[in-house]
Amino acid sequence: MRTGEMQILKVGRISDFGLYLVDEEGAEVLLPNRFTRLDMKEGDSVEVFVYHDSEDRLVASTERPLIKAGEVAALKVVDKSIHGAFLDWGLSGKHLFLPNRNQQGGVIAGQLTVVYMYIDERTGRCVATNKIKPFIYNDDPLTVKYGDEVDVLVAFETPIGYRVVINNRHWAMIYKNQLFRPIHIGERCRGWVRKITEDMRIDVSLQQQGLAEVETSVVKLEEMLAKGGGRLGLNDKSDPKDVARLTGMSKKVFKRALGMLLKQGKVRQTEIGIEIIGK
């Protein structure tokens, strides 16, 4: 029975309060009635998240939380007390606790805060911490390589860019001069490893590299043309800032994608932009 994780358990018995689920070792946990269906029966397999409720009882839920043990996420602060703060982690009727000792710089109700979730060794409960640096590191061997697609969580802003957590494991950097759309603290998106230095520093881009980036950008331009009635107010003479603002691409990538569409005979350029041939 793994606290803080999604897992598949079997229905062991039915009670007035819900279904008792069992793991392979016979340990039980209650799935309350509000998470059950009428067609559930003994022996059925159910995917659930296991955690402690407000009365410190181990319970299961079919809801998927915004964060699991060993992950980093940006969660909204919904309440504060003298002991700490409470975060919305996507489970109804239960908030994730962020103790005062785990806070860094203070948190404000109603705002997002970036946290790591771990299981307290003494109580077995799910706990959040703003002090994520001890859990995220770039030791050898790294679990990523150049060109890998990675999950990105924007953690901090710096004068030159944004420090991000990739795959809940490593620190990486997105430089401002490599950004062609706005991003914000707490945003989760996908990115690609563009550089790894000898001292294990990782640079990430929100755009694919090489031909894959161009092919993705071609699809995006075609979608924008379709939504714009077959026309787009950009061409290869447009200002790079306008290109970045409207498409989220660099001028270089935009021109390469446009060139591919022109070569395929799908579009033509005009003085004010591009349009699908036949429009």
For residue 241, being part of any structural domain is answered with yes
Residue 242: give its domain's CATH number. Answer: 1.10.10.10
The confidence score (pLDDT) of residue 211 equals 66
For residue 139, being part of any structural domain is answered with no
Comparing 1 with 91, which gets the higher pLDDT? Answer: 91
CB 59 within 8 A of CB 52: yes
Residue 82: give its domain's CATH number. Answer: 2.40.50.140
pLDDT one-digit tens code per residue, 68-103 = 999 999 999 999 999 999 999 999 889 999 999 999
- Highest mean pLDDT, choosing among 55-59, 73-77, 216-220: 73-77
Residue 50: give the domain boundaries: 6-61
Residue 174, Cα to own-chain centre: how many angstroms? 15
How many structural domains is the chain composed of? 4
Query: What radius of gyration, in Å, describes the C-alpha atoms of the chain?
Result: 24
Cα(237)–Cα(52) distance, rounded to whole angstroms?
A: 59
Q: Which of 182, 187, 186, 204 is nearest to 195 (CA)?
A: 204
- Which among 61, 83, 106 is the end of a domain? 61
The confidence score (pLDDT) of residue 210 equals 67
Amino acid sitting at position 235: N
Mean pLDDT of 132-155: 91
pLDDT at 225 over 80: yes
- Which among 22, 41, 61 is the end of a domain? 61
Cα(125)–Cα(102) distance, rounded to whole angstroms?
A: 15
pLDDT one-digit tens code per residue, 173-217 = 999 988 888 899 999 999 999 899 989 999 999 887 766 777 778
pLDDT at 264 over 70: yes
- The overall average pLDDT reported for the chain is 91
Cα(205)–Cα(17) distance, rounded to whole angstroms?
A: 50
